[in-house]
Amino acid sequence: MTAALPSRGCIDTPVLKERGQREVFCGLTGIIWLHRKMQDAFFLVVGSRTCAHLLQSAAGVMIFAEPRFGTAILEEKDLAGLVDSQTELDREVDRLLARRPDIRQLFLVGSCPSEVIKLDLHKAAERMSAKHAPHVRVLNYSGSGIETTFTQGEDACLAAMVPVLPATPARELLLVGALPDVVEDQALALLAALGIAPVRCLPARRSGDLPAVGANTVFALTQPFLGDTHAALIRRGARHIPAPFPFGEAGTTAWLHAVATEFGVPQALFDTVTAAPRARAAKAIAAAAQTLTGKSVFFFPDSQLEIPLARFLTRECGMTAIEVGTPFLHRDLMAPDLALLAEGPTLSEGQDVDRQLARARAARADLTVCGLGLANPLEAEGLATKWAIELVFTPVHFYEQAGDLAALFARPLRRRAVLRNLAPLEAAE
Interface contacts to ligand SF4, rule CB under 6 A: 26, 28, 47-48, 50-51, 54, 111-112, 143-145
CB of 116 to ligand SF4, least distance (A): 8
The answer to whether 45 and 93 have CB atoms below 8 angstroms apart is no
CB of 78 to ligand SF4, least distance (A): 20
CA–CA separation, 160 and 226 (whole Å): 12
CA–CA separation, 371 and 350 (whole Å): 14
CB of 50 to ligand SF4, least distance (A): 4
237: how many CB neighbours lie within 10 A of its CB?
A: 13
The conformation of residue 164, written as its DSSP 8-state character, comes to G
Residue with Cβ nearer ligand SF4 (57 or 421): 57
CA–CA separation, 159 and 227 (whole Å): 9
CB of 187 to ligand SF4, least distance (A): 31
Residue with Cβ nearer ligand SF4 (26 or 175): 26
User: CA nearest 371: which of 155, 150, 178, 177?
Assistant: 150
Residues in the chain: 429
The conformation of residue 74, written as its DSSP 8-state character, comes to P
Residue with Cβ nearer ligand SF4 (143 or 277): 143
CB of 124 to ligand SF4, least distance (A): 17
CA–CA separation, 369 and 184 (whole Å): 26
**SS3 assignment, position 378:** helix
Helices (H), 119-170: 121-132, 152-161
CB of 82 to ligand SF4, least distance (A): 19
CB of 45 to ligand SF4, least distance (A): 7
Residue with Cβ nearer ligand SF4 (263 or 328): 328
Residue with Cβ nearer ligand SF4 (54 or 310): 54
Nearest residue to ligand SF4, scored by beta-carbon proximity: 145
The answer to whether 341 and 317 have CB atoms below 8 angstroms apart is no
Cα dihedral across residues 412, 416, 422, 423: positive or negative: positive
CB of 34 to ligand SF4, least distance (A): 15
Contacts of 314 (CB under 8 A, 6+ apart): 320, 321, 341, 342
Beta bridge partners of 199: 173
| Share of the chain residues as helix, strand and coil, in percent rounded to the nearest 5 | 50, 15, 35
CA–CA separation, 112 and 426 (whole Å): 49
The conformation of residue 67, written as its DSSP 8-state character, comes to P
Residue with Cβ nearer ligand SF4 (115 or 337): 115
CB of 60 to ligand SF4, least distance (A): 16
